[in-house]
Structure 1
């Protein structure tokens, strides 16, 4: 295909910002990879509560810096400097967890964030709200005295050695089905239920006997075992469940979904093992005894007699919820067993009795965050790592066949409980407001930083809801819940728009955020109108499996961004996609909004070992940073070979700096570069798709020939 594009000009004409000219892709990618290993520690303010596809603060600090600086500015040389972009205004129309906002105010700019999802606006308000640390600790202590003993009562077991009651860290459950011959079968794929994250170094594992249900300690890879308790011989690596099928004792295979309860309830669970904590700090695995079952029955009975603030919301049918619904999960309360519902309800009830609204909402945010690690969709990650694999580890709500029940309040040895998240998430985020540190650059990306440079003043902003309030205060942060297609802002009032649009065809945020909305809506609906709705969805969501519809939805937001953006301002956003249709949709949205792509920069965006990435044959770990402006045209021209060559140059630069680049990452780089001439020519959707596909084929031939050499 002849695109009639001939020459590359490195610096676009009429550049008004540094990010149009250059971007330190290697240095920022190296820092970003360091951040991605422990995002909740390195940028705690954006991880006070679950949000999906949270972008890396390092990257967005550099983007904001480049978008607000003059063309001659060296972004990397100024990265660790303290800045004061007084009266500069940055807008994020898809604010999510608030990454853009935090990085903008750290640079001394004012920031406006808008999101259509009520969970987003609630968590962002809580993240930037300053409350005295002493008051938070005092409230936590009072809450602990009031409700923790009640909750801890249901998370204890008897130590068989001493006879004393000791705290339970985790209860291990397994789903069961009943065959037409009335055989109850647990959905174990293997009987090894706990092993170390590095089993070759530490081969000790915990195995459940399928005959007597006692816990056996042996090697993680044992293939033949005789139970020391009942002498049953079995292969620990071979359970009755395999894929979508189970095998009965007589050898008959059944499809699991065909054996789900006919009454429409979720599958029945069986409690099969316990991890408890002895007085000396030793963790011990124990089998389930009658006393443990009686304690659960006590929780079940009490739940029926209590009036607690529990969710009643029904689960909507959608892309991210269909698997849960196919297992008969109909209501959000079905995600929790009776003990979890009782203890979470008691905790929420205690929080609602806190008189100070600001403190109460901080605790509500912490409570909501705790839900992610305390549902029947959680599982055990194993020893030597964070124990709890959270509810959203697969993005879609995939029913867990061997759920892990966490201990809700928790101990100092727990993971993902209310008490541990108080320190690791809430308090860490509050301290970051005072000391907003950066990550020190180091050539070994996994090595811990020896220092945390303070490159910003403390974050001390007042959250407001209207433009008038925002415009009249210096240190103000405007947080809007609503459709970004209708921004309540004056024309040409924003210096830069920096954002990360939704990923159009897979992650439907409101379907997932209903998990939290179901608990928060009943207690917040009288304070915030966005919670007084049937669910967290909205007609104005930019989310659709059709790329053409997504393009039009995104264009309506980008058009608003163009309206409120100053003439010399830039719209900068991150994006990646593995298919030409995704890039064609982005190109169409930009051109409909009357803007052009002036520059693109590839940068590291996501940990390659994330659960959603490990299953991919060629995972994408780069984002393209697209820099757009309102000019009607400019004179940058590219030919196919120059595009391919530039893609390879950028990929090689990142690889030589230690960033692994997949074939899909190369496509991200190539596709983003192609948008520069195609947005200028205002090509239609089909043309862009065809151009991307054809140039990608040429590029693959070039890359493969170099690999062969």
Structure 2
């Protein structure tokens, strides 16, 4: 207990400015792996949930209002509600709002299970033959197929299946003729199944029958017949040129649909169609089962695309990029959906336990008198919905320069979800995105300016003497300078004890995101205080 607390402990709290006694958090926490709530749907670069629990507990008390102007994967909102706070989450990315609402809103679990069981039964009856294979087990079904590109040696002209020749370096293969070449300089190479895994666990070389079954759906006329037969549709949007998409576009993958095999396109389109036969509304304000099942399926999209590969017998989804490996994977979409539903169910069960009735949706700031959660899909550079000096703390995780291209990567999901979530074409407008990106003509100065606009609004809505707390991670001193300049000019100062290193989650230290250029291991917790007027 600090001296001020000791001196006034018998005086009514209304006469005691407790906020004057809050000092910056001084001890890091042992970061835990993501809980089931955060495994319902993938998002990029989520911070440890127990770290944000600690920040929320340290800087606020129950019923106080917390703002997160960079909502992202929803950690501040989830943990804030679980600790009895009121929360406002804002993000320019519609997927941030969509995923966060899935994580916190209440749903009738019995209805969710019932509708899932009905749909999966119809799906297996109608399209399980997509993944038929040969095996001695009782019900042979493909778990995955490994595909290898077929390339022509630029020296001897021989056609080569890349998986059957030596890989001698990153993106480099050696032809039997002795020449070394890089197949990634070629345009959209043809592929052939080379290995398969049955659902019984057996892995073997692809048979002629496996190759034939794959080619049936790759044939354009057969593919169109299947589309017509099931009355299916799928996204036809072109991939916008960007920092992450340039590689696949240069290789000839011009549409999002090009990133899937025809067989998996059909499977995704069919399951989405069956889910969308459910009503879009729910009784008593509960979260619609239809939306929960759509998001269960959308979370399978990357793993079910050509962006995935096989590692140690398992399908591994892409990192924070668009990259089609020379030897890629084709996962059984039905199995992916089954596995993801299990995670949705566990996540919603946990959400009900730790949040439950604490979640009451707000539609505007005034609603927070009785509601607890306001989510806004917009830029935080203008928070006109929030009154001056009305927020008790701001706890957030802003973009680390151009470390992750959130909107560009999220388009992969939004083109499939545009129908139910009012996303227009499905391509997110990135005009106001806070980032550093050559393809958007945004440099570190643009990044700094965007942060300044947002932090200025944060200063306006934050109560006097309260805290802006954020986690940050970058190896580029120019990005750090931009952050500190933006916070200083927007009316905040870094407390003398306001910088603390937070080690990363040990289990995730080898991820591509942690190894990325410009990404330091762990984060820094920065505690800024609002300057006195």
TM-score normalised per structure 2: 0.87
Q: Distance in 1 between matches of 2:172 and 2:39?
A: 38
Partner SS state of residue 166, structure 2: coil
Aligned counterparts of 1:619 and 1:504: Cα–Cα separation in 2: 10
Q: What CA distance in whole angstroms lies between the structure 1 residues aligned with 2:333 and 2:236?
A: 20
Instruction: Return the match for 2:509 from 609, 626, 643.
Output: 609
**CA 1:593/1:291 → structure 2, altered by over 3 Å: closer, same or farther?**
same
1:461-476 mapped onto 2 (5 Å cutoff)? 461-468=359-366, 470-473=367-370, 475-476=371-372
The structural deviation recorded for 1:240 is: 5.2
Q: 1:424-573 alignment to 2 at 5 Å?
A: 425-436=343-354, 458=356, 460-468=358-366, 470-473=367-370, 475-487=371-383, 488-521=385-418, 523-524=419-420, 528=422, 531-533=423-425, 535-545=427-437, 546-573=443-470
Please report how far the alpha carbon of residue 319 of structure 1 lies from its aligned counterpart in structure 2 after TM superposition.
1.4
Indicate yes or no: 2:199 matched with 1:277.
Answer: yes
Q: Does 2:168 correspond to 1:168?
A: no
Name the SS of the counterpart of 2:295 in structure 1.
Answer: helix
- 8 A contact 1:151–1:343 mirrored in 2: yes
User: Which stretch of the first structure deviates more once superposed, 164-173 or 96-105?
Assistant: 164-173
Which of 41, 50, 53 pairs up with 2:42? 50
2:307 aligned to which of 360, 377, 384: 377
**Structure 2: 5+ residue stretches without partners:** 5-16, 282-287, 438-442
TM-aligned CA distance change 1:620 to 1:140, over 3 Å: same
Q: Return the alpha-carbon distance in structure 2 between the equivalents of residues 534 and 370 of structure 1.
A: 18
Distance of aligned partners of 1:459 and 1:541 in 2 relative to their CA distance in 1, 3 Å threshold: farther
Q: Deviations over 1:124-149 (max 9, x none)?
A: 12222211111011000110121122
CA contact (8 A) 1:240 1:248 kept: no
CA 1:17–1:132 in 2, change beyond 3 Å: closer, same or farther?
Answer: farther
Q: Is the 8 A contact 2:152 2:158 kept in 1?
A: yes
Q: What residue in structure 2 maps to residue 217 of structure 1?
A: none
Structure 2 counterpart of 1:184, from 159, 171, 181 = 159
1:119-130, aligned counterparts within 5 Å? 119-130=95-106
What is the DSSP-based 3-state SS (H/G/I as helix, E as strand, rest coil) of the residue aligned with 2:358? coil
Task: Give the number of equivalent residue pairs.
Answer: 496
**Residue deviations 1:438-491 (CA, integer Å, cap 9, x gap):** xxxxxxxxxxxxxxxxxxx646312233223x2342x42101000101112111
2: CA distance, partners of 1:404 / 1:502:
31
Pick from 236, 249, 252: which aligns with 1:325? 249
**Residue 58 of structure 2 aligns with which residue?**
66
Residues 554-703 of structure 1 mapped to structure 2, 5 A cutoff: 554-598=451-495, 599-607=498-506, 609-612=509-512, 615=515, 620-632=520-532
2:15 counterpart of 1:23:
no
Partner of 1:464: helix, strand, or coil? Answer: coil
Shift of 1:379: 1.0
* 1:433, distance to aligned residue in structure 2 (A): 1.6
CA distance in structure 1 between the aligned counterparts of 2:213 and 2:482, rounded to whole angstroms:
55
**Residue matched to 1:413:** none
Alignment match, 2:7: none
With over 3 angstroms needed to count, the CA separation of the structure-2 counterparts of 1:614 and 1:510, relative to structure 1, is closer
SS at match of 1:462: coil
Aligned to 2:261: 337
Which residue of the other structure, out of 248, 252, 270, is the alignment partner of 1:346? 270
2:91 matched to which residue of 1?
115
Contact 1:433 1:459 survives alignment (8 Å): no
1:18 & 1:59 partners in 2: Cα distance? 21
**CA apart distance, 1:432:** 1.1
Cα distance in 2 for partners of 1:618, 1:506 equals 7
Residues 617 and 335 of structure 1: CA distance in aligned 2, closer, same or farther (over 3 Å): closer
In structure 2, C-alpha distance between the alignment counterparts of 1:155 and 1:398, rounded to whole Å: 25
CA distance in 1, matches of 2:21, 2:317: 40
Tell me if the contact between 1:327 and 1:399 (Cα under 8 Å) persists in the aligned partners. Answer: no
> Bigger CA drift: 145-154 or 399-408?
145-154
Q: Which residue is equivalent to 2:126?
A: 150
Distance in 2 between residues matched to 1:388 and 1:492, nearest whole Å: 49
Q: What is the distance in 2 between the residues matched to 1:459 and 1:390?
A: 35
1:89 aligns with 2:78: no
How far is 1:291 from its partner?
Answer: 2.2
Compared with structure 1, are the counterparts of its residues 606 and 321 closer, same or farther at alpha carbon in structure 2 (3 Å cutoff)? farther
Go from structure 1 to structure 2 and tell me whether the alpha carbon gap of 1:20 and 1:459 turns closer, same or farther (over 3 Å shift).
Answer: farther
Q: Find out whether 1:292 has 2:210 as its counterpart.
A: yes
Which of 217, 221, 224 is matched with 1:304 structurally?
224
Q: Is the 8 A contact 2:45 2:513 kept in 1?
A: no
Deviation at 1:566, TM superposition (A): 0.7
Give me the CA root mean square deviation: 2.4
- For residues 478 and 162 of structure 2, what CA distance do their matches in structure 1 show? 39
For residues 296 and 549 of structure 1, do their structure 2 counterparts lie closer, same or farther at Cα, with a shift above 3 Å needed?
Answer: same
Distance 2:330 2:20 in 1: 51
Unpaired stretches in structure 1, ≥5 consecutive residues: 1-10, 70-84, 189-209, 211-237, 261-265, 411-416, 437-456, 634-709
CA distance in 2, matches of 1:380, 1:127: 29
2:211 match: secondary structure? helix
Among residues 104, 113, 122, which one is paired with 1:137 in the alignment? 113
Asked whether the 8 Å contact 1:158–1:165 carries over to 2, the reply is: no
Q: CA deviation at 1:501?
A: 0.2
Q: C-alpha separation between the residues in 2 aligned to 1:130 and 1:409? A: 26
Distance of 2:515 and 2:466 partners within structure 1:
40
Rounded to whole Å, the distance in 1 between the matches of 2:482 and 2:83 is 32
Q: 1:21 to 1:498 in 2, by over 3 A?
A: closer
Displacement of 1:269 after TM fit?
0.9
Deviations 1:167-191 (A, max 9, x none): 2111111112224554222233xxx
Structure (1 or 2) with the larger CA radius of gyration: 1
1:66, distance to aligned residue in structure 2 (A): 1.0
In 2, Cα distance between the equivalents of 1:114 and 1:617?
28
